[in-house]
Amino acid sequence: MRRVARARAVLNAERIPTEHEEQRELVRWFRQTYGLVTKGGVRIFAIPNGSQRSRTTGARLKAEGVTAGVPDLFIPAWLTWIEMKRAEGGSVSAEQRDWHAYLRSVGHTVLVCRGFSHAREEIDKLAKKER
């Protein structure tokens, strides 16, 4: 029994959070830190591009304008897009690189962040510039 518990502890200690988990924590932190809307806070929202879908749902969303490569999050007040990746692993696709180049060409900021901690650091640096 002890071996099983020890093996689980090792697996949990080495587990790298998913992109979903990293993004969820970032949005929660951002809204607590910058997003007090009742006090003129800054808003952040997600772009629902990356989840598993049925073929029918995918076709419907594509017809509505969902486009591969668009970054995961947007902060309108700062014209800032955030592409979230896991702290370890994950790569930027050709479609994502194309969108990032386009968004930068029209004056927007694009951050590619590897995990919640990296994203928090980059956003805090950006927030200091925005003030």
Query: Rounded distance, CA 59 to CA 47, Å?
Result: 17
Residue 10 reports pLDDT greater than 60: no
d(CA 60, CA 78): 30
Domain that holds residue 94: 17-130
CATH code where residue 91 lies: 3.40.1350.10
In a domain, 5, yes or no: no
Q: How far apart are CA 53 and CA 115, in angstroms?
A: 24
Tokens of residue 16, six digits: 């790298």
91 occurs within a structural domain: yes
Residue 11 within a domain = no
The structural domain count of the chain equals: 1
| 47 within 8 A of 58, measured Cβ to Cβ | no
> Is 10 contained in some domain?
no
Rounded distance, CA 112 to CA 109, Å? Answer: 10
Q: Which two tokens stand for residue 131?
A: 């003030």
Q: Is 3 inside a domain boundary?
A: no
What is the pTM assigned to this prediction? 0.81
Least confident of 3-17, 25-39, 112-126: 3-17
Dihedral (Cα; 58, 116, 125, 106), 10-degree rounding: -10
Which pLDDT band holds residue 108 (cuts at 50, 70, 90)?
Answer: very high
Predicted confidence (pLDDT) at residue 37 exceeds the cutoff of 80: no
For the segment 46-88, what is each residue's pLDDT rounded down to a tens digit?
Answer: 998 766 678 887 788 788 888 889 999 999 999 999 999 998 8
C-alpha span between 131 and 115 (Å, rounded): 25
Query: Is residue 51 assigned to a domain?
Result: yes
Exposed/middle/buried for 71, CB within 10 Å: 0-12, 13-18, 19+? buried
